Structure 1
Amino acid sequence: MSTDCCKSGFNWDGKPTGKETTLAGNKAYVTGSNKDAAILFVHDVFGWTFNNLRLLADHYAKEANATVYLPDFFGGEVVAVEILDDPERREAFDFPSFASRNSKEKRYPELLACAKTLKSQYKKVGAIGFCYGGWAVFQLGADANLLSCISTAHPSLLEKKEIDGLRVPTQILAPENDFQLTPELKEYCNKAIPGNAVPYEYVFFPGLEHGFAGRGDPKDVKQKEGLERAKRAAVNWFKEWLH
């Protein structure tokens, strides 16, 4: 299975407005000042320092009126964003080894600790995960006493048992072309999640590909419209379930 879409895309211009802190022992970017509502943002392969995701976190904080945390779940390892512009470096990046170092079994305890810490500090907590972060928010979404809702854009590594386990309102931002969220998995989500008796929103993005919501090309009209629509959809989802 190709992983090219997980390590390709575009850097966005802009300067994040938040600050760096720690959450449950993990380094984290935090933005926003709401004392009642928080969002846990689980990053993609480019990690917690990725400028695009920090800019999105700022948007979520301001537009959904929440405090957003983007922690490091790769143990300090940072994938150089330069591979986005360098095909040779992108080809040389050993994705299987990277994925092994950051397996579900290794990283989920950290994810759970961060979510529990936020739940102890805020009245309502939501979570959003892009690509790698997709499976993570599905697992967290199995506990209705922990999260108020989840959202995910083009989730990776997702298993049917994680879909079956959902117990909180769930939103999926799904591009048409996705080697991870395959047509078969899309169909399964659209049948299984309503059967879990939780509110469900499936937002489809025709013509777009895996990674568009966090690494889409803002100079391409279709991609720009898609990533902006994805941002608005997530904001509206959190406004509905966190307030």
Structure 2
Amino acid sequence: MSSCCKEGFKWNGTSVGKETKLGKNDVYVTGDNKDAAVLIICDVFGWKLPNVRLLADHYAKEADVTVYVPDYFDGEVVDEDALSNPEKREKFDVMAFIGRNSKEIRWPEIVANAKELKSNYKKVGAIGFCYGAWAVLRLGSKDEPLIDSASVAHPSLLEEKEIANIGVPAQFLSPETDPMFTPELKEFTLKTLPTLGVPFNYDYYPGLVHGFATRGDQSDPKQKEGLERAKNSAVYWFKQYLH
């Protein structure tokens, strides 16, 4: 993974949800819809980052869903000051972090959470940011889909087979500059999506970079417009396919 996966800006605001449990995992929950739920699978900053909780609150209110943000990193919390503090960012070894939280390690608990949501709600969607994208696409695979719609933003760790196996409506929120979602992977995605027989949305964000949807600078007009457009696109996607 690239250094862009640990850069960004902390957002201002106060979240309104609560912390509880989803299966064995700690989870932030917001919203009160009994029929439709959204699972957020976070980037390396995890479930306590204020930004992702504020996004969850927006999704819950604007898409009328109950949103779950689980901890998939065994309680490990990256210092949010690493977003803007170069010294702290340098100390954060993102590759070692990924080693502790590999696909093989985290996939079983993600599946367990998705199955629990699927048993309790009529419709379940999922959105994955950076690290979380691979898991969302696997949950929406044509083999055994555990969700009804998928959305990913500036994905990391994606493999071509995970894209080629999508079996539910899928949305990609893609910035212009992204070392993790490479031009080659973007080209593969754009060629493959029309062949899968499912609705898709490829939303492009010129001038923006990896991490913009969850760690963009709200004081910069272009970044603010982009992160708000990404939020609105995800809300539309959930409203379209979860109700």
- The separation in 1 between residues aligned to 2:194 and 2:140, in whole angstroms, is 14
- The separation in 1 between residues aligned to 2:89 and 2:4, in whole angstroms, is 11
> Would you say 1:85 and 2:84 are equivalent positions?
yes
**Cα contact 2:145–2:167 (8 A) shared by 1:** no
Question: Structure 1 stretches (4+) deviating beyond 3 angstroms?
Answer: none
TM-score using structure 1 length: 0.98
Corresponding residue pairs, total: 242
AA aligned to 2:69 is L
Q: CA deviation at 1:71?
A: 0.2
- The separation in 1 between residues aligned to 2:91 and 2:194, in whole angstroms, is 41
- The separation in 2 between residues aligned to 1:64 and 1:184, in whole angstroms, is 33
- The separation in 2 between residues aligned to 1:15 and 1:81, in whole angstroms, is 15
Identity %: 61
Matches within 5 A, 1:153-172: 153-172=153-172
Matches within 5 A, 1:107-118: 107-118=106-117
Q: After alignment, is 88-97 or 46-55 more displaced?
A: 88-97
RMSD, aligned CA: 0.9
**Cα contact 2:149–2:170 (8 A) shared by 1:** yes
- The separation in 2 between residues aligned to 1:17 and 1:92, in whole angstroms, is 32
- The separation in 2 between residues aligned to 1:85 and 1:210, in whole angstroms, is 15
| 1:171-212: CA deviation from partner (whole Å, max 9, x where unpaired) | 000000000111111110111122111111000000000000
- The separation in 2 between residues aligned to 1:39 and 1:94, in whole angstroms, is 30
Give the corresponding residue for 1:227. Answer: 227
Q: CA deviation at 1:85?
A: 2.2
Helix, strand or coil for the counterpart of 1:136? helix
Q: Which runs of 5+ in 1 are unaligned?
A: none
Give the corresponding residue for 2:193. Answer: 193
Helix, strand or coil for the counterpart of 2:223? helix
AA aligned to 1:189 is T
Q: Which runs of 5+ in 2 are unaligned?
A: none
Helix, strand or coil for the counterpart of 1:6? helix
Give the corresponding residue for 2:125. Answer: 126
